[in-house]
Chains A and B, each alone.
Chain A
């Protein structure tokens, strides 16, 4: 009200100002076009060359990549790795977000610090930590040997199980932050009302809290999926050379074999398949939240 009254004597001001304001984004737009969009367009163009010298245009690289049944297996494995990691982070992370809601503000601060701290730690450090944990002489094997559960050290590194366990911890903050952000804005009265009406806590969880926290859950799933499918260091160091995912193929084709068109095809396949899953997930998320409001 007051601002409208004060602004009234200057009718022309906001229009002129908006034009000037918009132009402030120009430097970033130029940098973005030159350093982000142009390289990606060139990558697409590169994929339509047949030879590693990039002289002969054609579709041979696409045909070669998609003519090999092994490529489909690698794409599928990469997407499955992302989905497994998403499932594991949801199952383990969601309860932690629930507990966060019930904590006193002081403890909330501590928990948030604990969640964010590993996120600021280099992925390489986190990957290294899991080598120490899962290795032959690592904590898990030493503990199980000591308990007498196993007599020989288990092979955990260079298995998909070990990789999913590690990625679960490495990507966990990406799941928890959006979840906690949405959940801390939920009206606590809703839970109390549900309980007062006789619903058990389980029922309140599945009929009230889960639907309302859907936007945070979807956002978390998207981030974890995008990050785990492209986690080159974790995939190569913990997964080893026998577990092949798309990022390894891209790296080999571009920096070992030096066949850039093939590497471009592999990276575009990664981009398209990851973005497709992301689009599907966010479509489902939007539908579920619209269903809730409607």
Chain B
């Protein structure tokens, strides 16, 4: 009996541990391999890379050769910054209004605001294109900001609502009973306490906007395309190894950003809870 048990436990450790190791390998290795390939000397994506050089990065940072990539990157940053900024204002206000409301309608509104996360993005992208063209708008960055706002705002709403629900109501009650106005309580008690939640949500929304394909695909044209759309074009036609260099830059940026967010607002803990 005891032997059988220890054999079973051993098999558990081997199988579960083995698959888990494989999972980590699958998660991490493509990123590392793509990063290594971006430093290749050669003209193709052969692995192992032939020789080491910064050649593709030099091409990427060359202002004239890669002008379109630079403009796409600027568009991406601008759209992400604006949609996050508007999203923070709208979603924080909504969270303040709805988080403590126990009426059924408030729960329904909350679920409705979260629906862009499950609705297939490509359907909303097409819907936005049809809608804005019917209203007579030409593709522009402002339309893209409006579209991105809808699909990234749920991230901010979610983290902000979560931090509000962890807020001790006694703090707000005591602030009010000590004579503070509603706005003063908001400014001096509520906002400082939920700030990490807002910041984590804003970060996720910003990254989701930078990464967004379905909305940008439909609302952009050659002048207003974003980085993912431009990269998709580069991968679809002739496989341009500059894609590897762009990927390398994005990998580095995501890594640094994530370290910063981890130190300042404890991002990983917030995403787990």
A residues near B (Cβ < 8 Å) are 2-3, 6-7, 9-10, 13, 17-18, 20-29, 31-32, 35-36, 38-40, 42-43, 46, 91-93, 95-96, 98-99, 109, 111-118, 120-133, 135, 137-139, 142, 168-169, 172-173, 177, 180-181, 184, 198, 200-202, 205, 222-223, 226, 229-230, 232-233, 236-237, 247, 250-251, 254-255, 260, 263-264, 267-268, 270-271, 274-275, 278
Contact = CB atoms under 8 A, between A and B. Distances in A.
A23 B262 CA distance: 34
Contact of A43 (B22, B37, B123): B123
Counting contact residues on chain B (CB < 8 A from A), the size range is: 35 or more
Given A3-B170, A112-B268, A22 B254 contact: no
Contacts of B227: 122, 124
Given A122-B250, A129-B30, A247 B122 contact: yes
Contacts of B254: 117, 120-122
B100 interface: yes
A6 B173 CA distance: 7
A131 B106 contact: no
B149 A31 contact: yes
B232 A31 contact: no
Interface in B1-35: 5, 8-9, 11-13, 15-17, 19-20, 22-24, 26-31, 33-34
Interface of B: 5, 8-9, 11-13, 15-17, 19-20, 22-24, 26-31, 33-34, 37, 44-48, 89-91, 93-94, 96-98, 100-101, 106, 109, 112-113, 116-124, 126-132, 134, 146-147, 149-150, 153, 157, 169-170, 173-174, 176-177, 182, 207, 210-211, 213-214, 217-218, 227-228, 231-232, 235-236, 239, 243-244, 246-247, 250-251, 254-255, 257-258, 262, 267-269, 271-273
A117 B213 contact: no
A254 B33 contact: no
Closest 6 CB pairs of A and B: A24-B97, A39-B131, A129-B30, A129-B34, A25-B97, A39-B127
A138 B20 contact: no
B173 A128 contact: no
B130 A42 contact: yes
A13 B177 CA distance: 11
B46 A137 contact: yes
Which of B44, B120, B131, B214 has the most A CB atoms < 10 Å from its CB?
B120
Contacts, number: 292
B158 to A, nearest CB: 12
Contacts of B218: 254-255
10 contacts: A3-B170, A17-B182, A39-B131, A120-B257, A124-B231, A125-B247, A132-B33, A200-B9, A254-B126, A278-B118
Contact of A32 (B97, B106, B112): B112
A291 to B, nearest CB: 24
B101 A18 contact: yes
B101 A28 contact: no
A40 B26 CA distance: 37
A135 B45 contact: yes
Given A91-B19, A139-B47, A229-B120, A46 B130 contact: yes
A139 B176 CA distance: 63
Contacts of B89: 27
A230 B273 contact: no
A254 B112 CA distance: 27
A114 B29 CA distance: 11
A123 B211 contact: yes
Contacts of A229: 120
Contacts of B231: 122, 124-125, 128
